[in-house]
């Protein structure tokens, strides 16, 4: 329990009857937007939302929001696209301090991104990303935090580092997964989970993967952030969209959405370990 909670809200009927959104960037919304985002999530039975930082400053805001909103829980980290150079000792120190906060449940968003725009200063950029990733895994290990990671156009190298660092024993999940069955199997084989989001609604190969992997290895997310490029505000991705992903997964597997809800919520709590106990309290366990 945290922030003075002694029991779950009256509206929470039990942890297996509410969803968890394991990865969002709602810290990037204006303060005026957040009440509506949270209300719509609650109406969609999304009972807990993890807010992932992308820099030390963004991570600090995620922690502050988690303390101010009982449905929010923080993850801290430096996103590979946001590095622009080596991750400084100062920022590593800030992330380490934030990782000790009771509202923090994971190290994220960290990882590798080898698309050209993320390697704008050449081979050294890839090296800086790898160094930053290992340093942040070390912080996660020191605080017994799960690692939720990004691996765009860098799957093989990212998985190699994750195996080297024994992230499966620490607990981890491949965020916004859009890879092949073999890649999903590699993640699962090292003891980590696959985090599915709205790409499941439109990508046939991902639908095949989702139908074949163990349900016990799946968690759900939206990766939601402000999307002004979508002119219709109602079409922005938000945590309220988790049931869309869950329903698609249920349809692909020929099961009820309630089974997906129960399993993925339990998987999320397992992924987060001891820090996840505060989500269980929020969800009514």
- What's the pLDDT tens digit per position in 61-106? 999 999 999 999 999 999 999 998 999 999 999 999 999 999 999 9
Count of structural domains, the chain = 1
| 123 band by pLDDT with thresholds 50, 70 and 90 | confident
In a domain? residue 260: yes
User: Residue 2 has what pLDDT?
Assistant: 39
Please check whether residue 101 lies inside any domain of the structure: yes
Whole-model pTM: value is 0.93
User: Model confidence over 160-216: pLDDT tens digits?
Assistant: 999 999 999 999 999 999 999 999 999 999 999 999 999 999 999 999 999 999 999
Whether residue 4 is contained in a domain is answered as: no
Q: What strands, in cross-sheet order, belong to the sheet with 104-113?
A: 19-24, 46-52, 72-76, 104-113, 146-152, 172-174, 193-196, 218-220
State how far the alpha carbon of 118 is from the alpha carbons of 57, 128, 132, 169, in Å: 20, 11, 14, 29
22 lies in a domain?
yes
The reply to whether 8 falls in a domain is no
CATH of residue 51 = 3.20.20.140
Domain residues for 256? Answer: 15-283
In a domain, 1, yes or no: no
pLDDT at residue number 285: 58
């Amino acid at each position: 329990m945290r922030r003075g909670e002694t029991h779950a809200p009256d509206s929470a009927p039990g942890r297996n009857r509410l969803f968890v959104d394991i990865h969002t960037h709602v810290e990037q919304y204006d303060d005026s937007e957040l009440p509506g985002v949270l209300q719509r999530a609650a109406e969609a039975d999304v009972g807990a939302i993890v807010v992932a930082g992308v820099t030390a400053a963004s991570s600090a805001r995620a922690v502050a929001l988690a303390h101010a909103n009982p449905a929010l829980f923080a993850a801290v980290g430096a996103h590979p696209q946001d590095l622009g150079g080596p991750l400084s000792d100062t920022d590593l120190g800030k992330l380490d301090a934030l990782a000790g906060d009771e509202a923090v449940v994971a190290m994220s968003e960290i990882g590798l991104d080898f698309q050209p725009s993320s390697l704008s200063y050449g081979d050294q950029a890839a090296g800086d990303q790898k160094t930053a990733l290992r340093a942040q895994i070390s912080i996660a290990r020191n605080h017994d935090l799960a690692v939720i990671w990004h691996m765009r156009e860098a799957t093989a190298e990212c998985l190699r580092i994750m195996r080297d660092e024994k992230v499966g024993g620490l607990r981890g999940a491949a965020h916004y997964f859009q890879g092949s069955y073999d890649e999903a199997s590699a993640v699962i084989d090292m003891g980590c989970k696959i985090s599915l989001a709205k790409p499941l609604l439109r990508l046939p190969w991902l639908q095949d993967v989702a139908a074949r992997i163990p349900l016990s290895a799946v968690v759900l997310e939206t990766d939601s952030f402000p999307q002004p490029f979508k002119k219709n505000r109602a079409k922005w991705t938000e945590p309220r969209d988790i049931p869309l992903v869950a329903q698609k997964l249920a349809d692909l597997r020929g099961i009820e959405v309630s089974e997906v809800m129960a399993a993925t919520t339990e998987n999320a709590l397992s992924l987060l370990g001891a820090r996840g106990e505060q989500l269980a309290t929020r969800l009514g366990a």
